[in-house]
Amino acid sequence: MPSPPYPVNADGCHPDKGWTQRQAAAWLVQEESPTGEVGFVRSTAGFNGPLCEPLTVQVQFWRLTYRSAAGAQARGSTGSAPDYSFTMAAMKHVQLRVDGRRDVVVTPPKGYYSSHPSPCVGGLVAFYTGGPLTEKELPSRIVSGDSLLTFDSADFHTNRVIDSKLSSPSDPAVCDADGKPTRPTSAPSFPAGALLPTPSYPPIRLNPTHT
């Protein structure tokens, strides 16, 4: 029988003092929810923990308001997806201590998820190790996937982010500089009063980085 990847010691836990961010990310087991919940799964005793020292994990949700960049249609023969500029407003930030002794679930803020997405407003959730992200670590570029081979992605300026997920608007290409649709769309808007930023995190205007 193969040895467990994280064997426990005499105290019934796996020593993790001094772990790097890479080691912490490899150990974390996260469950995705289609409604925006972020969960961390209880470990299996003797196989992957529990850990002797809890890990500090941050979970953060943002509202994104898109406006299309100039010529924001798919470009070139490869059909590469367009870049979008956007405003970013924090909605919820939770700091956790995770050691694998129980399941942990973080619910999204009210209005973050909608089964009827807005044409110009979407969301972003990320979880990461260490302290809260600084402004310089936040993403400045979003590529909106528009084919089976291209997926939505947000480029964070740090390797601390273990995983992130975009909740894309339904039709960002029709949005003007104020994040409003420029022509009729069949997609309903987000509920009124939803997706409001928290007072401690003012909106940040970012511009896409082109390479």
The predicted-structure confidence for 151-194, as pLDDT tens digits, reads as follows 577 889 999 999 998 888 888 878 888 888 887 765 444 433 33
Question: With 90 as the cut, is the pLDDT of residue 16 above it?
Answer: yes
Number of alpha helices (DSSP H) and beta strands (DSSP E) in the chain: 1, 10
Is 103 domain-assigned? yes
C-alpha to C-alpha distance for 107 and 90, rounded to whole angstroms:
15
Q: What is the pLDDT of residues 33-60, one digit of tens each?
A: 877 889 999 998 778 889 999 999 999 9
Residue 18: which residues within 8 A CB-CB, separation 6 or more? none
What is the distance between the alpha carbons of residues 69 and 80, in angstroms, rounded to a whole number?
14
DSSP code string of 76-91: TTTTBPPEEEEEEEEE
pLDDT of residue 206: 42
Asked whether residue 12 is domain-assigned, the answer is: no
Query: Vertex 185, ends 184 and 189: CA angle to 5°?
Result: 115
Within a domain: residue 36?
A: yes
Domain annotation covers residue 56: yes
- Domain membership flag for residue 171: yes
| Residue 95 forms part of a structural domain | yes
Instruction: Using the structure block, give the residue that is written with the tokens 């995190």.
Output: 201
14 within domain boundaries = no
This prediction's pTM: 0.77
**Amino acid 211: pLDDT:** 34
pLDDT in the model for residue 186: 54
DSSP E strand stretches across 130-191: 142-143, 153-154, 161-167
Does residue 192 sit within a domain? no
Give the domain range for residue 72.
21-178
Distance (Å, whole) CA 211 – CA 193: 37
Q: What is the pLDDT of residue 70?
A: 54
| Number of domains present in the structure of the chain | 1
The dihedrals phi and psi of 207, each to the nearest 5 degrees, come to -120, 145
Q: Tell me: the pLDDT tens digits for 60-103?
A: 999 999 887 654 443 433 445 567 788 899 999 999 999 999 99
